[in-house]
Amino acid sequence: MGRIFSSRKINTRQLWLLVLLAAFHIAVVEARPKVGLALSGGGARAFAHVGVLKVLEENRIPIDFITGTSMGAFIGALYAIGYSVDEIEDIVLKSDWVSIFNDDLSRRKSIFHKKDDHHRYLFDFEIGYSQGEFKFPKGVVSGHRLGLFLQDLTHFMYDERDFSRFPLPFCAYATDLENGNPVPLNHGSLWEALYASMAYPGFVSPIEIDGHQLIDGYFSKNIPIETLRDVGADFVIAVDVSTPMFGKNDTRNLISIAGQSVSILVKRATSEELQSADLVLSPDLGNRSSLDFVSSKETISVGRETAEKYLIQLGELRVDQDAYKEYSTVRTYRKKHAMPVSADQIGIKQNDKINKKFVLTRVQFRPGEPINFKQLRSDLDDIYGWGDFERVEYDIQRDESSLDHLIIRPLEKSWGPNYFRFGIQFDTEAKSTNEVVGLV
């Protein structure tokens, strides 16, 4: 009897010990600091963020919230909706960024009377004429290709309009063109939020969201840190890839002086924001241009090297293998198990000047069947190729009856209806000079 009682007593003690250990483990897990990651804008320089993410993953450091601006928003959003770091790296390295930021279509996509012009001229620019005055486009690039590129990568999230419900809560930042205020974008259409955050003024046309004309967030909040505090981040990692200030000998022309003027304002605002971060990573990219997409692989490596220098500080955020495996499974689950996207109906968002039949007859669509996004993109390029629209977009919206609608949105040019097109011709065979000519 004594042995039996003693055995039971020992088992009871062991049981209580296990309970206490389990409770301690749960307490440790619950006490894990929530980590926020803020990714700055910087064009191609922002590809260093990919290298930082690689180090975070390799060292089992989970991210709970992400904010970003411009290209930082692009990379942060992909991670937030479930792309693996390797997938993001492939997108960065294999995408034709020059084409993405250039709306010229192949000659096959242009209407017949423009094909010869595109063949003869290296670059062309269009202005409008109406009611006795000239009108200019809102940007050198209308953003048609950029918009479709972003839609291609994010369309599987069409039915989630609340970014706080992403696998990782996410917020992008843009700038209100009217007053210069920062605009947090944490709901609505994800591709539109990313477009707005990346729309560098003068180069890429702005986009209207909720009645506001929005441009690149670089000019108002290039590294959104305080937002992470607001949503509960205990530890904030900020990655700053902002373009450095020019030296005295580098500000000798109009372009460099204008760029320096913008950098001064951005630098001042960014410096104040960075003070509230717990850890700031500043990849040493030197004077590498924000347009240097050729060196993307090297830029990623610099990001990796920078993060590796802070492994002691980052190590405090590390979790065990089981915990990180569970975290990764949850983060990537939706993307890995995304169902083919279909729509029940097709419609067009138009004004009175747009021929609805002209647009809809050029889009191949079958109700209830999976959307062939490659074909849809080709169809929208065909419509855009007629030259009447600034951009041709699409959206997938779910109504109150849970029916999904494929909405085609042709944006009529605001600088029409009459146009002058200017081309720069470079003829290496006949003469070695550039020639500016007008095309009607």
> Mean pLDDT in each 10-residue stretch from start to end of the chain (440 residues)?
38 48 45 95 96 98 98 99 98 96 64 45 62 79 95 96 98 97 97 98 94 95 96 98 70 62 71 92 92 96 98 95 97 94 90 80 93 96 89 92 93 74 50 38
3-state secondary structure of 376: helix
Residue 405 has a CB neighbour count (10 Å cut-off) of 14
3-state secondary structure of 62: coil
pLDDT at site 147: 97
Question: Which helix (H) or strand (E) element contains residue 397?
Answer: strand 389-398
Calpha distance 411→143 (Å, rounded): 11
Tell me if the pTM is above 0.75: yes
Q: What is the CATH number of domain 112-139+341-439?
A: 3.10.20.310
Between β-strands 123-130 and 133-135, what pairing exists: parallel, antiparallel or unpaired? antiparallel
pLDDT at site 71: 98
Which class is domain 29-101+142-336? Answer: alpha beta
pLDDT at site 261: 64
Of 232, 213, 178, 245, nearest to 67 (Cα)?
232
Calpha distance 194→185 (Å, rounded): 9
pLDDT at site 272: 84
Q: What is the torsion angle, in degrees rounded to the nearest 10, for the CA atoms of residue 108, residue 111, residue 115 and residue 121?
A: -110
pLDDT at site 392: 94
Q: Residues with Cβ < 8 Å from 143, sequence gap 6 or more? A: 103, 195, 199, 204, 205, 207, 391
- Radius of gyration of the chain from Cα atoms? 26
Q: Where are the domains of the chain?
A: 29-101+142-336, 112-139+341-439
DSSP state of 234: S
344-348, long-range: CB < 8 A, 24+ apart: 344/368, 344/403, 344/404, 344/405, 345/403, 345/404, 345/405, 345/406, 346/405, 346/406, 346/407, 346/408, 347/405, 347/406, 347/407, 347/408, 348/407, 348/408, 348/409, 348/410
Does residue 343 come out as left (phi exceeding 0), alpha (psi in the -120 to 50 range) or beta?
beta
At position 372, the amino acid (one-letter code) is: N
